[in-house]
Chains A and B, each alone.
Chain A
Amino acid sequence: MDTQKHISSAFDQDLTILNDALQKLGDLACRQFEGAIEGIATQNEANLDRVIKGDAALDALEAEINEKVMEVITLRSPRAEDLRYVLVALKVAGILERIGDYARNIANRTKVIITAGNENIPGVNIGRMGQVTQDMVRDALTSYRSRDAEMALAVWSRDIEVDHMHTAFYKEVLASMSRNPNMVGTGAHLLFIAKNIERIGDYATGIAEQVHFLVKGVVPDEDRPKADKTSKVVNT
């Protein structure tokens, strides 16, 4: 919070609490996602379990943030930038919680794949996609922390890369599945995992949009460039 202090110090305190909570939620979500992606590579079941169990903390923190936002609206009547901040906090908290859910989902499915014992996971692509998406999420959160609208816009336009990777991976998995019918089960999970990562990328752009709104007062004008053509793919 770099802006001037409010006359009401209680108001400043509330905003600080909100900010800290969002920081914490952001860190948790990032770590959950990182843990899930790492788990695909290392196939360490213990780590994956930790990710799965860790999701409860995110849910709880998001609920706290919701409470706090309602309190600030009721008691402090925020206006102008304060109002935008509070509304953005609400939305970003929701997004981060869902990112956490997807991370948990990825971990769950990874565990199933490992249990099934299939090593033929085209993990390299997933790993790269995961990495790019992780960077997006982290950068989005940084832009939120520093209220940097330019950075947010940059994140916003990186999503197209993730979309490309997703489409490519999708085709690869389909090809794998058609070549090797045993792989269908694993393949299906992989498709979901990839989809989740792609969704997390979308969420990262969502955070970036909110940051833009917070700083400039409007969401970015132009249509975001999209390149997710998976809905059009039938077979390779």
Chain B
Amino acid sequence: MTTKPGIAKAIKISAKEVNVFYGEKQALNEVSIDIEDRSVTAFIGPSGCGKSTFLRCFNRMNDVIPSCRVEGSIIMGDVDINNQQVDPVLLRARIGMVFQKPNPFPKTIFENVAYGPRIHGLAQSKSELDDMVEDSLKKAGLWGEVADRLADQATGLSGGQQQRLCIARAIAVGPDVLLMDEPCSALDPIATSVIEELISELQQRFTILIVTHSMQQAARVSQKTAYFHLGTLVEYGDTKEVFTLPKNEQTEAYISGKIG
């Protein structure tokens, strides 16, 4: 049944007045949002509305783009992620990312999952590393399919398997937040369903932010939905409400398929 508005979850990340510029062009405008802990929050909106840009602010991936400037604060715990003093390398050990097109490294399945723990020095011994890899693959629902071929090349897996491998790879580092940028857009419907099911399991352990083009998907997997339009956060609320009774006309128009 529905959760009554009275039961509020803890806030995991709080973004305040975030502005993002690519050179002169402003991509995000005074975006403020509170992300709930251990829930799935979906970012929806038409192409170019800034949802992916906003997602990338959470793990400072926008730093990689030279002309990109991020203003505002993104507070997790008592740390402002957007502060230049914060080391993005450490940040990304706490906030993992899964990308649109599955991008496993051209190495073995084992190596893919082991890379994160290895560079962060999380495993003291080979057997510990083995355990971590197995654990992550199990959590990603892939262990059963690859347990006997960990030394095979990751690129030999199917699209859906590769994406689950990327999820395993991300969670191997032990983050508490997962950022997913249209994780299913390159997959067929069945692989998509598998990943969505995985997301609802993962949600018990991780805070998940997912950018999606598919409103159906947002409706299926998320508890909270944020609608972006031309760089502005237009509406943010419980998914059920946003999809049955949106407060904003623009949201209504987008959701009903009246504007692209």
State whether B258 touches A79 (Cβ < 8 A): no
Nearest B residue to A87 via CB reads: B244
State whether B244 touches A6 (Cβ < 8 A): no
Interface residues of A in 1-33 (CB under 8 A from B): 3-8, 11
A-B contact count (CB 8 A): 39
Stretch among B4-12, B192-200, B248-256 lining the A interface: B248-256
State whether A4 touches B243 (Cβ < 8 A): no
State whether B255 touches A79 (Cβ < 8 A): yes
State whether B244 touches A79 (Cβ < 8 A): yes
**B84 CB–A CB distance under 8 Å:** no
State whether A4 touches B258 (Cβ < 8 A): yes
Q: How far is the CA of A4 from the CA of B254 in the complex (A)?
A: 11
**B89 CB–A CB distance under 8 Å:** no
Chain B residues with CB below 8 A from A5, complex form: 258
CB-contact partner of A7 in B251, B255, B257, under 8 A: B257
Interface residues on B, range: 10 to 19
Chain A residues with CB below 8 A from B144, complex form: none
Most B C-beta atoms less than 10 A away, residue of A5, A82, A84: A82
**Known contacts A77-B216, A79-B215, A217 near B244 by CB under 8 Å:** yes
Interface residues of A in 185-212 (CB under 8 A from B): none
CB distance from B229 to the nearest CB of A (A): 15
**B260 CB–A CB distance under 8 Å:** yes
**A67 CB–B CB distance under 8 Å:** no
**B245 CB–A CB distance under 8 Å:** yes
Nearest A residue to B215 via CB reads: A79
Interface residues of A (CB under 8 A from B): 3-8, 11, 77-84, 217
Interface residues of B (CB under 8 A from A): 215-216, 219, 243-246, 251-253, 255-260
Query: What are 8 A-B contacts defined by CB distance under 8 Å?
Result: A3-B258, A4-B258, A78-B256, A79-B215, A79-B244, A79-B256, A80-B256, A81-B256
